[in-house]
Structure 1
């Protein structure tokens, strides 16, 4: 039996990046604690030997989960058995709400002395607020990314810390010279605008977004023949993204992460974002992105953007009945200003996407408005100059939760 270890589980690319940053800080301040669990390339780059491929859990949406249910249940049984064997000091589930909830329940049964921690608060402020009370009865501690989230949970007696989102932290850690190096490698012109296409990291996202995104880029390329398109890809879905891009009417430079260390692949992605952020002689670049945490990374790079998303029709219909917010783009939520245009479901179509991107390709009020909103959003997240980085705050919050659990009487 391994004592004092920490079992981490991420179910998708954004959670994997959070887990990788958390692992790096834990190795710095608590090197005596072994780290194991399930993750992707970011966590594996920090030394994790994933129990099974993270992609087995990367399913999002009400309708999308059903066909994958047998596989997910097998992985749940496998993860539970490993926790039963290891008896870790803590289980840290990162996002992946459905799987995480079930694993937390089973961990309480097989290893009651394990501190059950969840990283990334459920969006109870957006839909289904009753989840806050249910979560309070399930886990010992919650680590929230956004400053307005803890009161939703502490009112129900759940320990919750605001630790911040490490998007800006990751961007600042990347090599600032990488942008020019990437431009030279791809033969990009500094006088021509750069547009970064980001149709998601999950296979379902790419299958639904690649066609409208590609058609929108074709419309822009026809109007701006010198437009330079970059497509950063995720390790687990690179083949699908490349296949989709081959059918686009406008050719894109593919930033393929396969065979590259995670840090190098991420640095190239941020380099692409910075190239799209620059302005030259009154012209600028932009990004067309799937809704998600990548919008915060783009904001941290100063890249103006348009956001689009298409979910399974059944999932979208259910979500529309439950949502209590009028924007799903994180910089908009954090800044309190709908500066970033967003197009969902049937509105996520080539013509409106291209029309929204058009004014971002030149200097003007649309770019300036997004710049102000990005600054406000990043300030709200914390981790600025003179503040502890979010990943370090998360590591300290986790270790404090373990200490509380170890000192508390065991209640089965």
Structure 2
């Protein structure tokens, strides 16, 4: 681990330029860690500070406060956390004022990140937002507040640069980090051997999300779905990949399930699980692209607070919530949302994926088409992002 990745406040000038990073959830932590490595390859003297999770901390970042404090979403779900979020905002602003970094990079988490960028407008630091806000999906009017928030914005999806350009904002496409996920390196036999799963037992991956607000809404439905699914597929083996921070919560929730799912927290074990999986049931988000990389046929489901759902339906402007479907421009994978997120509908859909080869083949063919759109013109996504950031950092 390079010693120069972190130094206490007040000691940065002697060691190199300072980049202050903010990641607010597990996916941002992965992006941030890869970005740190790519930036360090271009300038070994860079110093990193800010907020991140386990992967960024493994590279030497001492997180200002636990990243999990920011991992919340939903209009209703965030209300009980407002006081804590306000305190964390104050701490972040004060740390930036103390360190006087050369650049601040916020990664995704727009609810917190964009407010932070606004608060440090006069800090003297160059500002980059990595992962363009999905204003094209909902609340498009938000773009009126974006001018002046950053010096450069990096987007993951190929259509976003044109969408933002049509509204007078520049967004630079750097490719999607899922391409660097290592999903394709999974080994099915290794997973079955490690967890003592017979070679003929169908494995169903269940992905209830990475946030505290998501998991309690989906897991009880997943349990009832499994009860129904076992009527047709009695030997089905459920596997739940999780961010390590969520594992204790989930283990407590599944303690009394009649068949204990295999809990996976190691990223390599997750990739092996994907290689072994017959199909998956996942919440919307980046997980759909990860599963597509692993060629795992899937259905997408989601359930939020009814009040949140009421407002979301009036704000969402896209025909699909699954990224795979959005990029394909058609429904490649079934979407079972809110009132359609029922045990019976989920069981019927998963059962079809376990028995209908034509449905599986159609999904896998579409996955290849979608993933081809996500590559940057040159190098890996993190390298492309690092080039954009260094060009801005080096500009006078």
- Shared fold per TM-score greater than 0.5: yes
CA distance in 1, matches of 2:334, 2:259: 22
Equivalent residue number for residue 24 of structure 2: 11
1:223 aligns with 2:216: no
- Aligned residue for 1:28, secondary structure, equals helix
Deviates more, 1:359-368 or 1:206-215: 359-368
Of the three residues 68, 76, 98, the one matched with 2:81 is 68
1:78 aligns with 2:91: yes
Of the three residues 150, 159, 173, the one matched with 1:139 is 150
Equivalent residue number for residue 244 of structure 2: 235
- Aligned residue for 2:281, secondary structure, equals strand
CA distance in 1, matches of 2:59, 2:356: 40
1:96 aligns with 2:96: no
Is the CA contact (8 Å cut-off) linking 2:57 and 2:63 kept in structure 1? yes
CA distance in 2, matches of 1:343, 1:350: 11
CA distance in 1, matches of 2:356, 2:167: 48
Is the CA contact (8 Å cut-off) linking 2:179 and 2:381 kept in structure 1? no
Offset, 1:337? 2.0
CA distance in 2, matches of 1:155, 1:232: 39
C-alpha distance after superposition, 1:236-263 (max 9, x if no partner): 11111112222334331222x3xxxxxx
1:29 aligns with 2:29: no
CA distance in 2, matches of 1:190, 1:207: 31
CA RMSD of aligned residues (A): 1.6
TM-score of the superposed pair, with normalisation by structure 1: 0.89
1:339 aligns with 2:335: no
Equivalent residue number for residue 299 of structure 2: 306
Equivalent residue number for residue 120 of structure 2: 107
CA distance in 2, matches of 1:346, 1:158: 37
Of the three residues 368, 376, 379, the one matched with 2:369 is 376
1:267 aligns with 2:268: yes
Which ranges of structure 1 fall in alignment gaps of 5 or more residues? Answer: 258-264, 277-284, 408-412
Once the two structures are superposed, the pairs formed by residues 322-401 of structure 1 within 5 Å of their partners are 322-383=315-376, 387-401=378-392
Offset, 1:132? 2.4
Q: How many residues align?
A: 383
CA distance in 2, matches of 1:286, 1:267: 18
Of the three residues 121, 130, 133, the one matched with 2:132 is 121
TM-score of the superposed pair, with normalisation by structure 2: 0.93
1:48 aligns with 2:61: yes
Offset, 1:401? 2.2
- Aligned residue for 1:372, secondary structure, equals helix
C-alpha distance after superposition, 1:264-293 (max 9, x if no partner): x111111111111xxxxxxxx111111111
Of the three residues 160, 165, 169, the one matched with 2:176 is 165
Is the CA contact (8 Å cut-off) linking 1:332 and 1:373 kept in structure 2? no
Is the CA contact (8 Å cut-off) linking 1:133 and 1:153 kept in structure 2? no
CA distance in 1, matches of 2:61, 2:366: 36
1:59 aligns with 2:97: no
C-alpha distance after superposition, 1:114-142 (max 9, x if no partner): 11111111112111222223212211110
Equivalent residue number for residue 6 of structure 2: none
CA distance in 1, matches of 2:192, 2:82: 43
Offset, 1:182? 2.2
